[in-house]
Amino acid sequence: MPSGPIRVLVVDDHAVVRRGVVAYLEALEDVEVAGEAGDGQEALDRLAKGAALGELPDVVLMDLQMPGMDGVTATAEVLRRFPELKVVILTSFGEAERVHAALENGASGYLLKDAGPAEVDAALRAAVRDEVFLDAAVTRRLAQEIRAPRSGLGVLTTREREVLVLVAEGRSNKDIARHLLISERTARSHVSHLLTKMGLTSRTQAALLAVKEGLVQPR
């Protein structure tokens, strides 16, 4: 967790949507708007300037459908250049394919554009804690469409399946370690191994898979 407020860059090509999200964020405690951008390239330019000044945000809230560089490409590029950042996708209900692509590019989670302030707050805090926040309605649709890994859950050890369930419940490595009475380093290692075995790139994808396979119910 950042020691100060969570700093957020809002990226959306619709000024009205952007202003609405910014207004939500400004009303939240311990959240600070670090800036706004109208497309992926502008977001990268702002982040480059912030990095030069030592003022990078903690989270980028990223729209998917934008002219020029879209959110899927921008997510990949942001995380390639600034791997310490977290990207949370802002999505409307019908964008499952793009959301999957953004998750494959390393996004931490996603939020519906009409999410309430409490959900926005929860998603930001989950992202900076390296936890998973899943909107239940979107999760059901995404889980239906996720490509099941070729290897299936059978390749996981019993302990890795336990860890997968805990990841899907939104727990951090520290929580997993406490729950299973193992070290945080071992928990991190289990998460890394199960992602590699399943051919997944993020905890969010792992959580979606756990929903699809019936290991957990979307919240």
Residues 90, 127: Cα–Cα separation, whole Å: 13
H-state helical runs in 36-157: 40-52, 71-81, 96-104, 117-128, 136-145
If you average pLDDT over residues 165-194, what whole number do you get?
Answer: 93
The closest of 58, 72, 9 to 38, measured between CA atoms, is: 9
Confidence of residue 6 (pLDDT cuts 50, 70, 90): very high
Q: Percent of the chain scored above 90 by pLDDT?
A: 50
Please provide residue 134's backbone torsions phi and psi, each rounded to the nearest 5 degrees: -120, 125
- Structural domains in the chain, CATH included, are 6-129 (3.40.50.2300), 148-212 (1.10.10.10)
Residues in the chain: 219
Structure confidence by residue, pLDDT tens digits, 131-153: 888 777 677 777 776 666 656 78
Average per-residue pLDDT in the chain? Answer: 88
Q: Is the pLDDT of residue 189 over 90?
A: yes
- Cβ neighbours around 204 below 10 Å, total: 29
pLDDT score for 82: 96
CA distance 123 to 112: 11
Instruction: Give the confidence band of 118 by pLDDT, cuts at 50, 70, 90.
Output: confident
Report which of residues 176 and 148 the model is more confident about: 176
Q: What's the confidence (pLDDT) of residue 41?
A: 95
SS3 call for 105:
coil
**93 band by pLDDT with thresholds 50, 70 and 90:** low
Beta carbons of 90 and 61 less than 8 angstroms apart: yes
Q: What is the pLDDT of residue 149?
A: 63
pLDDT of 14-39, one tens digit each? 999 899 889 989 999 899 999 999 99
pLDDT at 128 over 70: yes
39-92, pLDDT tens digit by residue?
999 999 999 999 999 999 999 999 998 988 999 999 999 999 999 999 999 887
Start-to-end CA distance of the chain, whole Å, equals: 23
Both structure tokens of 86: 């977290």
Residue 148: the pLDDT is: 61
